[in-house]
Amino acid sequence: MSAPANVTTHSFTGCQAQAIALAERVAERLRNGLAQRGQAVLAVSGGSTPKAFFEQLSRQALDWARVQVTLVDERWVPESDARSNARLVHTHLLQHAAAAAPFIPLYTGDASPEAGLARAEARIAALPLPFDAVVLGMGDDGHTASFFPGGDRLAEALDPDGSARVLPMHAPDAGEPRITLTLPTLLQTRALYLLVAGEKKRDVLADARLGLGAARDYPVRAVLTQQRVPVAVYWCP
C-alpha cells in the first residue's frame, strides 16, 4: 500500500496572489508561535522566487522582535555579494515591520563552509526548535535547500535519522560552495511550505512526486515523500 498523501497544492493564477496568500499563512503561523511560547522561528530559502513573498511578509503586523529568522541554505559568499541569500533576506524581508526581527546567518566569514561548520551548527543548535515555519524553494533540476543532484554530501543531508543539523555541500551545478540545513532539521517544523513558480517547476514537482525515471533521484522527492510534516506547495505560473 502506498503512503497517504502528505502534499497539498495551492495553485494561483498570479504570483502576487500567491505571495500574499503565503505571507498571510506564514504570519499566522508566527503569531501562533508567539502566542504559545513567546517567540517564533522562521527559516526561508534564497533564490529569486521568494522576493514577492518576502515583501508581503515584511509588512505583516506581528511582534517581529521576537521572531528569529534564518536560512534553509546559504551560498558561501559574504553578504556584500549579490548571490548572498542573507543579502536577499535583508533587502526584501527584514524591512518595514520585519526590520525588528533578529537574523541568524549561516555564513560565518570563514574561508569555507567546512571551516565555518561548527559555528553555523552552533547557531542552529541555539534556536528554540521546532521552527514555526520553513519555506523551501526548488530548482528545475529538482534541488531544494542545497540538496543538489550530485552533491558531495547529499546522502548524509537527506538521511532522515542523521544527527548533523547543518552540512557543507559542493555540487557541479551549485555555483559556489554551499551550507545547508539537513532534512531532519528542516522537518523539525510546525509547518512546511514549498514556494514555486512556472510551468517547468510544476512539471518537475509532478515528476518528483511520481518518482519515475530520472525524477526518482530529484532531491526534492525526499521532502515530498516524507511523512513527518505535511507539505503545502504554493504554485503560480
Ligand X SMILES: O=C(O)[C@H](O)[C@@H](O)[C@H](O)[C@H](O)COP(=O)(O)O
The residue whose grid cell reads 532531491 is: 219
Instruction: Determine, following the binding rule CB under 6 A, whether residue 55 of this chain makes contact with ligand X.
Output: no
Write down the least CB distance from residue 219 to ligand X, Å. Answer: 10
**Considering only 68-76, 153-161, 165-173, 183-191, which stretch makes contact with ligand X by CB under 6 A?**
68-76
Among 18, 29, 68, 73, binds ligand X (CB under 6 A): 73
Q: What is the DSSP string of the chain?
A: -PPPP-EEEEE-SSHHHHHHHHHHHHHHHHHHHHHHHS-EEEEE--SSTTHHHHHHHTTS-S-GGGEEEEESEEESS-TTSTT-HHHHHHHHTSSGGGGGS-EE-S--SSSSHHHHHHHHHHHHHTS-SSBSEEEE---TTS-BTTB-TT-TTHHHHH-TT---SEEEE--TTSSS-EEEE-HHHHTSBS-EEEEEESHHHHHHHHHHHHT-GGGGG-THHHHHH-SSS-EEEEEE-
Measured from the CB atom, is 68 or 144 closer to ligand X? 144
Alpha-carbon gap, residue 210 to 128, rounded angstroms: 35
Among 30, 42, 43, 75, binds ligand X (CB under 6 A): 75
Instruction: Determine, following the binding rule CB under 6 A, whether residue 84 of this chain makes contact with ligand X.
Output: no
Instruction: Determine, following the binding rule CB under 6 A, whether residue 137 of this chain makes contact with ligand X.
Output: yes
Instruction: Determine, following the binding rule CB under 6 A, whether residue 177 of this chain makes contact with ligand X.
Output: no
Measured from the CB atom, is 135 or 191 closer to ligand X? 135
Measured from the CB atom, is 62 or 145 closer to ligand X? 145
- Closest by CA position to 109, among listed 84, 128, 126, 130: 84
Alpha-carbon gap, residue 198 to 235, rounded angstroms: 8
Instruction: Determine, following the binding rule CB under 6 A, whether residue 139 of this chain makes contact with ligand X.
Output: yes
Instruction: Determine, following the binding rule CB under 6 A, whether residue 138 of this chain makes contact with ligand X.
Output: yes
Instruction: Determine, following the binding rule CB under 6 A, whether residue 85 of this chain makes contact with ligand X.
Output: yes
Instruction: Determine, following the binding rule CB under 6 A, whether residue 151 of this chain makes contact with ligand X.
Output: no
Alpha-carbon gap, residue 31 to 16, rounded angstroms: 22
Among 86, 145, 205, 232, binds ligand X (CB under 6 A): 145
Instruction: Determine, following the binding rule CB under 6 A, whether residue 80 of this chain makes contact with ligand X.
Output: no
Instruction: Determine, following the binding rule CB under 6 A, whether residue 87 of this chain makes contact with ligand X.
Output: no
Instruction: Determine, following the binding rule CB under 6 A, whether residue 144 of this chain makes contact with ligand X.
Output: yes
Measured from the CB atom, is 62 or 106 closer to ligand X? 106
Measured from the CB atom, is 143 or 209 closer to ligand X? 143
- Which parts of this chain interact with ligand X (CB under 6 A)? 45-49, 72-73, 75, 85, 137-139, 143-145
